[in-house]
Amino acid sequence: MMNEHQFRNLNLLTIRYPFTAIISLLHRLSGIFLFLLIPFLLWMLDSATGTTDGFERVQTLLTNLPAKLILWLFLVALWYHLIAGIRHLLMDIGIGESLKSARLSGGITVVITLLAGILLGSWLW
């Protein structure tokens, strides 16, 4: 029988998560972020391919810093989601399931994403 007065920490912000759990959570969050940006990207695609005025509007939009930052965040999230998704698929078929290799592949995922973020940032700016 469980002690009824036992302390339980249910505050998710104070729990220390393992590195692999953080990588998995970020994969899910990047997917949500990508999904939420779909309407904005579809609007940009529709405007840019519709008329020359629409193309110029999108081109002007992408010259200001907030739009470039959102585009950069989208591209980094897309890259992270792709790399972490490949990592999860490899684990699904039995490659890299041990704790040591899961930590290693998580670190590789983060390093590749950081390098991609730097390269994408230098390409956009």
H helices, E strands: number in the chain = 4, 0
Single-letter residue type at 71? L
> Residue 48 and residue 52: Cα distance in Å, rounded?
7
27 marked ligand binding residue: no
Annotated binding-site residue numbers for heme:
81
Residues at the annotated binding site? 81
